[in-house]
Amino acid sequence: MNHLKKGICGIIVLTLCAGMLTGCGNKPETAETESKPAASESAAAPAETDAAAESLSEVQESADEAAAKEKLTAFLEGCRNHDLDAILSVADYSGLYQALEGDAFDEAQFRQELEAMLCDSFESYSVGELTSSYQDLVTFNGNVSSFLKEMEEEPAVPDDEETLRLIGYAKQTMKPADNRCAFAVTVNAGGTETTDDLVMLRCGDTWQLDLVTETATRIYQNRVYNAGQQQE
């Protein structure tokens, strides 16, 4: 399955502050007692706040993981059931291939080729454990920012029209992710099992299959090819 690309992912850890914990009781008699909380109160507040923040973070992580897994499952079900609309609701192959083809893009032909590429490529699948770290998310976002900055610079060899379209597509769609989740996905094709990581990205409230890596790879491949053509 060529579309199953190994990658890295990250769960963003949200450290949400629960607010200042204050005690209740009678109005203090002096300014001194009002300004100085009891020793037991001061000691308890940080621990309780940290516990509340950790609990909220775990809830958010669990919700994000479930949402990402649901979207990934919808994509895999779309592949297995020849449901191109389900596939395209999770992965923007249409935008990527319009950038590749330009005016030559044909919707009917695109859908036919996409079905041939993705559908009937496996008989069964299972979505396994989340394989991620926070540092993966940080690295991914740093790479996206560096890539977009590089695309603003003039290349050593002028870009061809396809590369320029891909760069335009990248500038429109690439952005630092709010979350990045990868799952170990095992597929069975013809009696052979293969396990790869599939990466889901969240920007705002929307989860999408990661096509960022493929877009960037195609741009770099084109530039390497153009440089080789110039040398010849």
pLDDT at residue number 2: 37
- Amino acid in the structure at residue 52: A
- Quick: pLDDT tens for 107-142: 999 999 999 999 988 999 999 999 988 889 999 999
CA dihedral 120, 189, 64, 71 (to 10 degrees): 10
> Residues of the chain with pLDDT > 70: what percent?
75
Q: Strand 206-209's sheet: what is its strand order?
A: 124-130, 179-189, 192-203, 206-209
- Quick: pLDDT tens for 34-91: 444 444 444 555 655 566 555 546 777 789 999 999 999 999 999 999 999 999 999 9
pLDDT at residue number 32: 41
pLDDT reading at 92 higher than 50: yes
Q: What is the DSSP string of 84-136?
A: HHHHHHH--HHHHHHHHHGGG--HHHHHHHHHHHHTTS-SEEEEEEE---HHH
pLDDT reading at 9 higher than 50: no
Alpha helices in 18-90 (DSSP H): 31-35, 39-80, 84-90
Please give the model's pTM, rounded to 2 decimal places: 0.72
pLDDT at residue number 151: 94
